[in-house]
Amino acid sequence: MNVEILHEANQDVVDTLVAGVRAYNVENAGPGNSQPLSVIARNDSGQLMAGVSGRTIYRQFLIEVVWVNSEVRRTGLGRRLMELAESEAKKRGCIAAQVDTLSFQGPTFYAKLGFEVAGKVEGFPDGHDRYFLLKKYQ
């Protein structure tokens, strides 16, 4: 057996690892029916201004990224996109949503949407913390 340390992104390696995890999950929890889910907003010129992106799997909405351009922050657009994404996740049978964020990014934003802290990792650089948040739908 040869062990390597890779210092570059290698999509083939990542794809193989993910496929292995998914196969293991199916053996133990059944098919997860993983589906991408994104809700985005573009301005009149077609420029991406905000979005929520993740996937639904095992009745969970796993939110991978939420971003709102600084030009349209604090306008309610982020909330609107989150609500639309969560509505779609519920239509797909999701019973909860999960997201993680850093202390300077959005814990307050998510709390206003009904997310609760499920875990916290302290000690990120410059005094920041990482929060793992959960919102149960049922």
pLDDT, one tens digit per residue, over 8-30 is 999 999 999 989 998 999 999 88
- Residue 125 clears pLDDT 90, i.e. is over it: no
**Residue 27 has what pLDDT?**
92
Burial class for 72, CB neighbours closer than 10 Å (0-12, 13-18, 19+): middle
pLDDT, one tens digit per residue, over 25-56 is 999 988 888 999 999 999 999 999 999 999 99
- Residue 130 clears pLDDT 90, i.e. is over it: yes
**Residue 30 has what pLDDT?**
87
- Residue 135 clears pLDDT 90, i.e. is over it: yes
- Residue 138 clears pLDDT 90, i.e. is over it: no
β-sheet bridge partners, residue 120? 131
Place of tokens 């959960």: 134
